[in-house]
Amino acid sequence: MEIIKKVVVKQILTEESRQRLKEQFIGRQYQLNKEIQQLEFVLHKKLKDNKNNIKYQNSLKESFNREVKRRKDRLRQLELKLGQLDEMDLGSELREGTIQMIEQVAEGDNWEEIMKGTEIVIKDGVVHEIRQGGVEDE
């Protein structure tokens, strides 16, 4: 029988990966700033098109402000990550996220061993290590 299991993916920080992450973060910042500008443009256009409907305008402003706030919050998070990235030592492990894997399970297998966490460690785009038996990731 096969089950789906979560696997934690980590990356070892090198000069190359630090630079790549910085570029990704800056790219996301640029995209979020473009989205904020686009939202503001669309808001002004819709407000102008519906200048006689005050209730609709207020509702529109509220929803657009929520969307702009979400993007500004993400921008602040990216700024924080960029700052942390500069302070991290080379060789540090960064958690990239989780993926799912299929694992074979048979009668007689030790369930606790199967459910212990697995980690895949990446270094400069290459699988550097696969760790078995860590703490299960929630």
CA 29 – CA 26 distance, rounded (Å): 5
Task: Give the predicted TM-score (pTM) of the model.
Answer: 0.69
Quickly count: other Cβ atoms within 10 Å of residue 42's Cβ. 13
CA 92 – CA 70 distance, rounded (Å): 30
Asked if 72 and 33 count as a contact pair (C-beta separation under 8 A), the reply is no
Q: What confidence score (pLDDT) does residue 19 get?
A: 93
How is the beta sheet containing 117-123 ordered, strand by strand?
A: 93-104, 2-12, 117-123, 126-134
Please write the tens of the pLDDT for every residue from 75-105. 999 999 999 998 999 999 988 889 999 988 9
Strand ranges inside the chain, DSSP E? 2-12, 93-104, 117-123, 126-134
Copy the structure tokens of residue 133. Answer: 């038996």
